[in-house]
């Protein structure tokens, strides 16, 4: 099963190897079996959280939906004895238990889950978000929606801000039976996925579909309503049982250098908002973008797509009328006849490899013709006689012990007719200043309740400007806090591993194998079981066969993330990743281009990629333990009782505690815990 040296050399890729070249020491299995036999420990089945899930801020049950896509975990059976839904739908339903935006996430999440994936110790991480992309698209194409809440608590929650954080919170609260009203200052929902990220990254039909599903659950929306201006916060707090604030960090930071007040100096958030609202149809001949994050990349890429007009104003006015009357009007159409490319330079203070932007976004803008000037710090804006910026003056810098050392005397100008600073964002707290701390963010406790404001919860960029998946995770966590608050319960502590868990009990329920309800023995039970009731002991008897418990199973998912060292990696042969195709957008075709860069996997590719998952921390039915147990003590659970996670059981009368099943378990699900 392991990889031969020839294969490894052929693939030129890493693969797991237990022994190094030339290593000749080996462990005798016989010794190991007899030594281990003295441990008096037998296997038990321990559920842990896989690192992909532990690294996903929205807490996706990644392993769960990968197991569904690859065909291991099956949908519950319907009345006709057939699966009640397709695997695609079942995978989507599992995804959306944690995160209601899989089609968006699959496209633009930088996928910290993949950074944590144990498969990297064998060859390369599992392409998790490409599978999320496929399933998210499938759900939209097949019109899947969320069930309307079946019970109502009568409680109402105000959600301030209709970005992904606010919408995620509304979604999770609706599932818990609480009514929600979203107050949104713009005329559209979505926050940054509608006004920040360009449509070639988050196509608006995809955004609309994933947002509309949440509204279809019965969420009320008040657009064009800024809390703190159109309606006061105090008023909302009075009228609603609880409040969630998800107002994002919508104000682009202004560049603080002399001359930055020039009219042709702007910030990245304003630039992108104007573009996304259709108010910007050209960028200028030469644009300098300052910064190295996602916003800087988006500004640069949008500027390359927009270009600059190469005709006079009169010709342009006439041409616009002509183009607008054509049915196929598009920026591209206009671009092809009237525009030429803009030169776009990104100026960044640190080294390119330290840019916080996603690597693929950086690679994409370079391919699209953006020039990167790294290790340069902005000094001033050079203006012409009319006060317009004509250049950005920069100074090259060195970095010594993380300190920036400007190279005095080496300043130079980068000529331009537009400067866009993408140097961070701030939260606009006007009308809600009581929540702002000295860093301009809200101070919250572990349950995301605003400190000193019971019943008010905050999430997303308003507490930590980071990622979409982070804001979505905050929405889920806050919804749980709000639920406790509305029920008058203690909010409690958050678990160490704070994710949405795979649930064995739910699995048992889905397949009609719900454990029996526990009841203590009655006098009649004792007489029946023991023949007499001379000494009546009503305590537990024969609990190893009782049907009210999940035997020899321990759930450590809220405490333990499965590390690669606990897996049997030798089980997994080298298997190349099924990568998504990237459309080639380069200097030749970038002008006016509105196409998505990334192409979704085909169904067979998505399934093949899911098969690369090693199911860290949960049985994936490989049969190794059954095959290798020298005692024949590990057996397959009879089909009628088996579910995912209950595929095998151990006959403890036969087990000698040799550890072999645990050693050959690829997933770390078997631990020698019985007898501890």
Ligand X SMILES: Cc1cc2nc3c(=O)[nH]c(=O)nc-3n(C[C@H](O)[C@H](O)[C@H](O)COP(=O)(O)OP(=O)(O)OC[C@H]3O[C@@H](n4cnc5c(N)ncnc54)[C@H](O)[C@@H]3O)c2cc1C
> Which among 48-56, 206-214, 282-290, 646-654 is the span making contact with ligand SF4, rule CB under 6 A?
48-56
Which of 72, 111, 158, 432 touches ligand SF4 (CB under 6 A)?
A: 111
β pairing state of 156-160 and 242-245: parallel
Q: Which does 460 bind (CB under 5 to 8 A by kind): ligand SF4, ligand X, none?
A: ligand X
Residue 672 structure tokens: 């020698």
Rounded to a whole number of angstroms, the minimum distance from the CB of residue 423 to ligand SF4 is 25
Q: Which is nearer to ligand SF4, 111 or 444 (CB)?
A: 111
Give dist(CA 14, CA 17) in Å, integer. Answer: 9
Q: Which stretch binds ligand SF4 (CB under 6 A): 45-53, 245-253, 260-268, 443-451?
A: 45-53
Q: Is residue 615 involved in binding ligand SF4 (CB under 6 A)? A: yes
DSSP codes of every residue in 179-230: EEEEE-SSSSSBTHHHHTS-TTTS-HHHHHHHHHHHHTTT-EEETT--BTTT
Alpha helices in 277-430 (DSSP H): 294-306, 313-325, 331-338, 359-367
R_g of the chain computed on alpha carbons: 29
Q: If binding is defined by CB under 6 A, does position 164 make contact with ligand X?
A: yes
What residues numbered 39-58 form the site for ligand X, per CB under 6 A? none
Task: Write down the residue that tokens 């008897």 correspond to.
Answer: 541
Q: How far apart are CA 383 and CA 258, in angstroms?
A: 10
Q: Does 117 bind ligand SF4 (CB under 6 A)?
A: yes
Residue 250 interacts with ligand X (CB under 6 A)?
A: yes
User: Residue from 47, 52, 355, 633 that binds ligand SF4 (CB under 6 A)?
Assistant: 52
Taking each helix axis from N to C end, the angle separating 468-486 and 164-175, rounded to the nearest 10 degrees, works out to 40
Number of residues that bind ligand X (CB under 6 A): 39
Q: Is residue 99 near ligand SF4 by the rule CB under 6 A?
A: yes
Q: Is 231 helix (H, G, I), strand (E, B) or coil?
A: strand
Within 13 Å, how many C-alpha atoms sit on residue 94's CB side?
29
From ligand SF4, ligand X, none, interface partner of 184 (C-beta below 5 to 8 A by class): ligand X
Stretch that binds ligand SF4, among 271-279, 497-505, 591-599, 614-622 (CB under 6 A): 614-622
Provide, rounded to whole angstroms, the least separation between the CB of residue 603 and ligand X: 25
Letters for 127-156 (x = contact with ligand X by CB under 6 A, - = none) are: ------------------------------
The yes or no reply on residue 123 touching ligand X (CB under 6 A) is no
Q: Does 51 bind ligand SF4 (CB under 6 A)?
A: yes
Spatial separation of the C-alpha atoms in residues 347 and 361, rounded to whole Å = 16
Considering beta carbons, is residue 105 or 625 the nearer one to ligand SF4?
105
Of ligand SF4, ligand X, none, which one sits near residue 252, judging by CB under 5 to 8 A according to partner kind? none
Assess 355 for contact with ligand X (CB under 6 A). Answer: no
As measured in angstroms, the least distance from the Cβ of 469 to ligand SF4 is: 4
Q: How many CB atoms lie within 10 A of CB 633?
A: 22
**Contacting residue, 15, 58, 185, 644, with ligand X by CB under 6 A:** 185
Specify the DSSP class assigned to residue 432.
-
What's the closest the beta carbon of residue 472 comes to ligand SF4, in angstroms?
7
Q: CA torsion sign, 643 to 645 to 651 to 652?
A: negative
Instruction: Give the nearer residue to ligand SF4 in terms of CB position, either 479 or 615.
Output: 615
Pick the binder of ligand X from 57, 162, 292, 617 (CB under 6 A).
162
Asked if 334 and 592 count as a contact pair (C-beta separation under 8 A), the reply is yes
Q: Considering the complex, what minimum distance in angstroms separates the CB of residue 133 from ligand SF4?
A: 9
Give the whole-angstrom CA distance, residue 302 versus residue 315: 24
How deeply is 265 buried, as exposed, middle or buried, from its count of CB atoms within 10 A (0-12, 13-18, 19+)? Answer: buried
CB of 510 to ligand X, least distance (A): 32
Binding window for ligand SF4 (CB under 6 A); candidates: 58-66, 161-169, 301-309, 515-523: 58-66
DSSP 343: E
What would the DSSP string read from start to end of 135-167?
HHHHHHHTT--PPPPS---S-EEEEE--BHHHH
| Range 5-41 burial, b when 16+ CB lie within 10 A, else e | eeebeeeebebbeeeeeeeeeeeeeeeebeebeeeeb
Q: In angstroms, what is the minimal distance from the CB of 467 to ligand X?
A: 3
Q: Per DSSP, what are the bridge partners of residue 565?
A: none
**Residue of 132, 210, 294, 566 that binds ligand SF4 (CB under 6 A):** 132
Given candidates 126, 144, 422, 600, which one binds ligand SF4 under the rule CB under 6 A? 126
Q: Does 102 bind ligand X (CB under 6 A)?
A: no
Helix 603-610 and helix 128-141, axial crossing angle in degrees, nearest 10:
140
Decide if residue 128 touches ligand SF4 (CB under 6 A). yes
Residue in the structure block whose two tokens are 């048992």: 508
Site residues (vs ligand X, CB under 6 A): 108-110, 160-166, 183-186, 191-192, 196-197, 226-228, 246-248, 250, 269, 272, 294-295, 298, 428, 460-462, 466-469, 471
Site residues (vs ligand SF4, CB under 6 A): 50-52, 56, 58, 60, 62-63, 66, 99, 105, 109, 111-113, 117-119, 126, 128-129, 132, 469, 613-616
């Amino acid at each position: 099963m392991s990889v031969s040296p020839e294969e490894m050399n052929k693939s030129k890729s890493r693969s797991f190897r237990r022994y190094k070249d030339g290593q000749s020491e080996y462990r005798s299995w016989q010794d190991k079996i007899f030594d281990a036999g003295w441990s008096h420990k037998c296997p038990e089945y321990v559920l842990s959280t896989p690192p992909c899930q532990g690294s996903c801020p929205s807490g996706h049950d990644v392993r769960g939906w990968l197991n569904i896509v690859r065909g291991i975990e099956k949908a519950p059976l319907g009345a006709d004895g057939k699966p009640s839904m397709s695997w695609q739908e079942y995978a989507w339903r599992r995804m959306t238990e944690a995160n209601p935006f899989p089609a968006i996430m699959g496209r633009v999440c930088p996928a910290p889950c993949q950074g944590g994936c144990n498969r990297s110790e064998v060859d390369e991480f599992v392409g998790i978000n490409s599978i999320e992309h496929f399933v998210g698209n499938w759900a939209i194409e097949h019109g899947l929606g969320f069930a309307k809440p079946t019970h109502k608590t009568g409680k109402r929650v105000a959600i301030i801000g209709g970005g992904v954080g606010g919408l995620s919170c509304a979604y999770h609260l609706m599932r818990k039976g609480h009514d929600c009203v979203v107050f949104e200052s713009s005329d559209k929902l979505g926050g940054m996925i509608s006004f920040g990220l360009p449509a070639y990254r988050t196509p608006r039909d995809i955004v609309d579909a994933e947002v509309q599903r949440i509204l279809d659950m019965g969420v009320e929306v008040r657009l064009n309503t800024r809390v703190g201006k159109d309606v006061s916060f105090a008023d909302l707090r009075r009228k609603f049982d609880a409040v969630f604030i998800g107002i994002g960090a919508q104000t682009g930071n202004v560049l603080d250098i002399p001359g930055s007040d020039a009219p042709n100096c702007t910030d990245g958030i304003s630039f992108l908002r104007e573009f996304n609202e259709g108010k910007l149809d050209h960028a200028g001949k030469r644009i300098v973008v300052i910064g190295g994050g996602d916003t800087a990349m988006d500004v640069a890429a949008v500027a390359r797509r927009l270009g600059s007009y190469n005709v006079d104003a009169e010709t342009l006015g006439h041409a616009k009328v002509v183009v607008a009357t054509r049915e196929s009007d598009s920026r591209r159409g206009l671009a092809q006849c009237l525009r030429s490319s803009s030169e776009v330079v990104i100026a960044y203070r640190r080294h390119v490899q330290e840019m916080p932007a996603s690597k693929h976004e950086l690679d994409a803008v370079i391919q699209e013709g953006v020039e990167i000037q790294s290790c340069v710090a902005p000094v001033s804006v050079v203006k012409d006689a009319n006060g317009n910026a004509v250049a950005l003056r920069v100074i090259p810098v060195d970095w010594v012990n993380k300190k920036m050392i400007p190279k005095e005397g080496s300043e130079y100008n980068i000529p331009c007719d537009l400067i866009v600073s993408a140097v961070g964002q701030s939260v606009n707290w006007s009308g809600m200043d009581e929540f702002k701390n000295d860093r301009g963010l809200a101070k919250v406790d572990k349950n995301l309740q605003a400190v000193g404001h019971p019943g008010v919860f905050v999430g997303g960029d308003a507490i930590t400007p980071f990622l979409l998946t982070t804001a979505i995770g905050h929405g889920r966590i806050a919804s749980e806090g709000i639920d406790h608050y509305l029920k008058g319960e203690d909010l409690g502590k958050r678990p160490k591993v704070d994710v949405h868990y795979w649930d064995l009990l739910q699995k048992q329920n889905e397949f009609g194998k719900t454990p029996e309800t526990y009841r203590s023995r009655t006098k009649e039970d004792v007489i029946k079981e023991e023949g007499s009731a001379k000494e009546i002991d009503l305590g537990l008897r024969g609990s190893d066969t009782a049907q009210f418990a999940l035997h020899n199973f321990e759930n450590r998912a809220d405490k333990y993330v499965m590390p690669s060292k606990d897996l049997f990696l030798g089980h997994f042969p080298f298997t190349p990743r099924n990568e998504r195709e990237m459309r080639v957008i380069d200097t030749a075709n970038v002008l006016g281009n509105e196409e998505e860069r990334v192409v979704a996997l085909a169904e067979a590719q998505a399934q093949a990629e899911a098969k690369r998952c090693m199911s860290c921390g949960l049985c994936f039915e490989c049969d190794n333990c059954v095959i290798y147990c020298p005692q024949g003590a590990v057996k397959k659970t009879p089909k009628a009782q088996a579910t995912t996670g209950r595929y095998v059981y151990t006959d403890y009368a036969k087990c000698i505690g040799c550890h072999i099943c645990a050693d050959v378990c690829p997933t770390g699900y078997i631990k020698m815990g019985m007898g501890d």
